[in-house]
Amino acid sequence: MARSQQSVHKVKHHYSAGYIVWVIVKYFSLIFVSFWMVVPLISCVITGFKTDAEYQSTNVMTPPGNWLNFQNFADAFHKANMGLAFRNSAIILLFVLAGSIIIGTQLAYVLNRFKFPGNTLIRNLFTFAALLPGIAMQVATYEIMNNLGFINHLYGYIILSMGTDVISIYIYIQYFENISVALDESAILDGASYATIFYKILLPLLKPAIVTCIILKGAGTYNEYYNANLYLQNKQTLCTVATSLYTFTGPMGNRYNLICAGVIISIIPALIVFIIFQNSIYNGIAAGAVKG
Amino acid sequence: MASTTAASGRRSFREFTRTRKFQRTMIIIAFSIIPLFLLFLFTYLPFGEMVGFSFYKMKYVGRRTYVGLKNYQSIFSRKDIFGALVLSLYYMVGALFQIVLALYLATILSMKVRLGKLFKAVIFFPFLVNGIAMGFIFKFFYTHGFVLDTILSWVGFHIDSLPYWLRDQRINNWALVGTSVWRYVGQNMILFIGAIMSVDPSLYEAAEIDGANGFQQFKYIILPGIQTIVTLNIILSITGSLSAFEPSYVITSGANGTGTYFVIMDRIAHTDQKVGLASAMAVFLLCLIFLATVIQKLIFRFAFRNAQAEDESFQAKKARKRAIRAARAEIKAGKEAQKRMLADGRKEDA
């Protein structure tokens, strides 16, 4: 086996010293970066399983005595009212994602496929909007939300979050650029309307980009805490997963085993969705819509 | 269409609605009206209002008095505000580091790598951690004698010699910048990988046949192919560093000289209720961001044009030489393989 591999490489003239150094550098950098990515999270998992006594007496990186001690998780879930928080976050996610996908792909389609007066203007308006940080505008946005009666309503927060997401529009446009216009043209010859072309032909081809944007926008929405805190002030009924963690500030501020458990709970849904979607994100991007 | 007679007017209108031109107009309007409305409502309208607010002395409720440019003057005269602006330099350095790192990782991971998927997932995942959770995680991570200090003690540092990461003013802003890189480098990387993958794969094949190495492939195929998204990310990261908010807000709440411009602005707007001053701060920062973007775009355009003009002929020569060398090597290797096969065949025969 080893010999046959070697001979293959000889034919491909790859095995120079530089190549070997490159391989080492490559893997070293990947492992090094991954280590620092994982450590803050691992330390949290370790601490989440510790009892109060254990947490106070052992080093933070010492594994807990009992990996099945779920008491902290139960306490954290109960104290931060996370059941309701998950329900609210799910509703928000569903509507925001559906809305922003429809809006984003449609706009990208129009901007990429048609030349019309105002095309460049619209692109510039969106690019310029990307420069304006949301938090800066919040002082005035608050007044507008107030005038519209959108404060303390899930729908108000949903419409605000659906708004303008320049990164996804860019991603869609980039994908459209790689989908041949010949597809549209042949469909037009067959008598298809623009809406048919968009929904039946282009949208399925856009799936990888949509999946990518679902992850990005979904993460952004699930994790958003600033606007949620500001516009969903009634924490009893309108908490989201992110804002429910605010419960742990204050008197509970140094019970890190409890806090870590809460943090892990809030991260787990993201982790599960990520593991499921991960394949479609990578495969979708790798396969590309161009080949279709 | 307009010149048709009245009798057939109705019919011709129906015909008109079936024309491509009409359909086109309709689809353009139908597909862009909602996003444009939302863009107006939540971006440009507040923007306009905010500019108005910045000339008043006002709270959210109650009377407003016109004060002219006084709010803008206080931005410069108040030490806490102007000092906070300097902090964005830390975040700028961090952001550039982050983009370079993300590009590097994306290039590696778009080649063949063992466990590539796992690495990609691990590096990307911090992006999915919510801000409040991140605040807790890093308060815990940086606490004296906790996670970071333990790891550093494994490689020989003595815990007593390590600084208080979040309190020591020489280091605490770097510590916060680190958390920002931790969270966003994976997201940048995934965007870059996506863009790299959408470059026509036949280009890579052609380059490989021509004998281009990894770096050349990166420079001449990958980078031009993903220019748009890289440029966008650089713009966004400059914006991001000027408007850095999250690490400081959730981890230290702006204590010990870590309060970035927006954290201070948030405090002035909500705790102090000085809406006018906060608006002026926002407008001032937006001007800065706009200026930075314009300068950056100019530099970019200039740099790219120069590099392309100079490199083209040089690159062509180099590529040709490489191609010839590669072809020779291939022929040689082919011959050797043939010989070996023949030799093996003879052995078996014997």
Quick check: B145 and B159 in contact, CB under 8 A?
A: yes
Are A91 and A33 in the same domain? no
C-alpha A215/C-alpha B328 separation (Å) is 47
In a domain, A160, yes or no: yes
C-alpha B269/C-alpha B245 separation (Å) is 14
**Structure-token match 């254990």, residue found:** A54
Range of the domain at A97: 80-287
Q: Which residues of chain B are within 8 Å of residue A271 when distances are taken between CB atoms?
A: 125, 128
Last residue of a domain, one of A23, A39, A69: A69
- In terms of pLDDT, which residue wins out, A255 or B232? A255
How much is the pLDDT for B343? 64
Contact across the interface for A132 and B47, Cβ inside 8 Å: yes
Are A140 and A237 in the same domain? yes
How much is the pLDDT for B350? 47
* pLDDT higher than 50, residue A5: no
Last residue of a domain, one of A69, A94, A126: A69
Chain A residue with Cα closest to B48: A140
C-alpha B286/C-alpha A137 separation (Å) is 10
C-alpha B248/C-alpha B179 separation (Å) is 10
DSSP string for B180-195: HHHHHHHHHHHHHHHH
CB contact set of B41 (below 8 Å; sequence gap of 6+): A144, A163
Are A19 and A151 in the same domain? no
Q: Which of A89, A132, A188, A285 to substitute to test the interface with B, most B CBs within 10 Å?
A: A132
**CATH number for the domain that contains residue A215:** 1.10.3720.10
C-alpha B49/C-alpha B279 separation (Å) is 9
How much is the pLDDT for A61? 85
**Which stretch of DSSP H or E encloses residue B65?**
strand B65-66
Of B42, B186, B197, Cβ closest to residue A141: B42
Characterize B51-74 residue by residue with b for buried, 16 or more Cβ atoms within 10 angstroms of its Cβ, and e for exposed: eebbbbbbeeeeeeeebeeebbeb
C-alpha B326/C-alpha B320 separation (Å) is 10
Are A118 and A168 in the same domain? yes
How much is the pLDDT for B1? 43
Are A153 and A131 in the same domain? yes
Confidence of residue A153 (pLDDT cuts 50, 70, 90): very high
In a domain, A74, yes or no: no
Q: Is B77 exposed, middle or buried (0-12, 13-18, 19+ CB in 10 A)?
A: exposed
Total tally of structural domains belonging to chain A: 2
* pLDDT higher than 60, residue A4: no
Write out pLDDT tens, residues A29-50.
Answer: 999 999 999 999 999 999 999 9
Are A64 and A108 in the same domain? no
Q: CA of B202, closest CA in chain A: separation in Å?
A: 11
In a domain, A26, yes or no: yes
Nearest to B211 by CA among A132, A84, A32, A12: A12
Write out pLDDT tens, residues A60-77.
Answer: 888 888 888 899 999 999
Give residue B254's region: left, alpha or beta (phi > 0; psi -120 to 50): left
**B47/A contact by beta carbon, under 8 A:** yes
Contact across the interface for A290 and B198, Cβ inside 8 Å: yes
Determine the number of helices (DSSP H) and then strands (DSSP E) in chain A.
Answer: 17, 0
Q: Which residues of chain A are within 8 Å of residue B42 when distances are taken between CB atoms?
A: 137, 141, 144, 160, 163-164
Are A10 and A131 in the same domain? no
Residue B235: how many CA atoms within 13 Å on its side-chain side?
Answer: 25
Nearest to B196 by CA among B227, B167, B165: B227
Quick check: B94 and A205 in contact, CB under 8 A?
A: no
Contact across the interface for A43 and B32, Cβ inside 8 Å: no
Quick check: A211 and A287 in contact, CB under 8 A?
A: no
- pLDDT under 50: residue ranges of chain B: 1-8, 310-311, 350
Of B113, B138, B282, Cβ closest to residue A26: B113
Tokens of B185: 């480098």
Of B130, B137, B262, Cβ closest to residue A242: B130
Contact across the interface for B194 and A10, Cβ inside 8 Å: no
* pLDDT higher than 80, residue A280: no
Q: Which residues of chain A are within 8 Å of residue B132 when distances are taken between CB atoms?
A: 225, 242-243, 245-246, 266
Q: CA of B264, closest CA in chain A: separation in Å?
A: 11
Write out pLDDT tens, residues A89-119.
Answer: 999 999 999 999 999 999 999 999 998 888 9
How much is the pLDDT for A13? 54
Q: Of A210-219, A251-260, B68-77, which has the strongest mean pLDDT?
A: B68-77
Three-class secondary structure of residue A65 per DSSP = coil
Contact across the interface for A223 and B128, Cβ inside 8 Å: yes
Chain B window 207-226: which residues touch A at a Cβ cutoff of 8 Å?
Answer: 214
**B232/A contact by beta carbon, under 8 A:** yes
B56, β-bridge pairs: B66
CB–CB contacts below 8 A, A to B: 272
Q: B200-205: long-range contacts at Cβ-Cβ below 8 A with a sequence spacing of 24 or more?
A: B200/A290, B201/A288
In a domain, A75, yes or no: no
Characterize B147-182 residue by residue with b for buried, 16 or more Cβ atoms within 10 angstroms of its Cβ, and e for exposed: bbbbbebeeeeeeeebeebbbeeeebbebbbbbbbb
**B33/A contact by beta carbon, under 8 A:** no
Chain A residue with Cα closest to B28: A110
How much is the pLDDT for A261? 93
How much is the pLDDT for A134? 77
Are A115 and A180 in the same domain? yes
Average pLDDT over residues A250-270: 87
Contact across the interface for B132 and A43, Cβ inside 8 Å: no
Of A33, A132, A270, Cβ closest to residue B105: A33
Three-class secondary structure of residue B274 per DSSP = coil
Q: Which residues of chain B are within 8 Å of residue A241 when distances are taken between CB atoms?
A: 130
Are A11 and A106 in the same domain? no
Are A60 and A164 in the same domain? no
In a domain, A158, yes or no: yes
* CATH domain B66-128+170-275 topology: MetI-like fold (1.10.3720)
C-alpha B57/C-alpha B199 separation (Å) is 53
C-alpha A186/C-alpha B263 separation (Å) is 54
Strands B56-57 and B65-66: antiparallel
Q: Which residues of chain A are within 8 Å of residue B340 when distances are taken between CB atoms?
A: 7
Q: Which of B43, B100, B270 to substitute to test the interface with A, most A CBs within 10 Å?
A: B43
Average pLDDT over residues A150-160: 92
B57, β-bridge pairs: B65
Tokens of A205: 């081809």
Q: CA of B86, closest CA in chain A: separation in Å?
A: 17
**B319/A contact by beta carbon, under 8 A:** no
How much is the pLDDT for B305? 59
C-alpha B334/C-alpha B147 separation (Å) is 56
C-alpha B119/C-alpha A33 separation (Å) is 9
Tokens of B300: 């970019």
Q: What share of chain A is helix, strand, coil (3-state, %, to 5)?
A: 80, 0, 20
The domain locations on chain B are: 66-128+170-275
Please name the amino acid found at residue B208.
E
How much is the pLDDT for B158? 87
Contact across the interface for A266 and B269, Cβ inside 8 Å: no
Of A43, A163, A174, Cβ closest to residue B141: A43
Are A91 and A206 in the same domain? yes
Are A6 and A113 in the same domain? no
**B96/A contact by beta carbon, under 8 A:** no
In a domain, A9, yes or no: yes
**Structure-token match 């492992």, residue found:** A31
**Which stretch of DSSP H or E encloses residue B57?**
strand B56-57
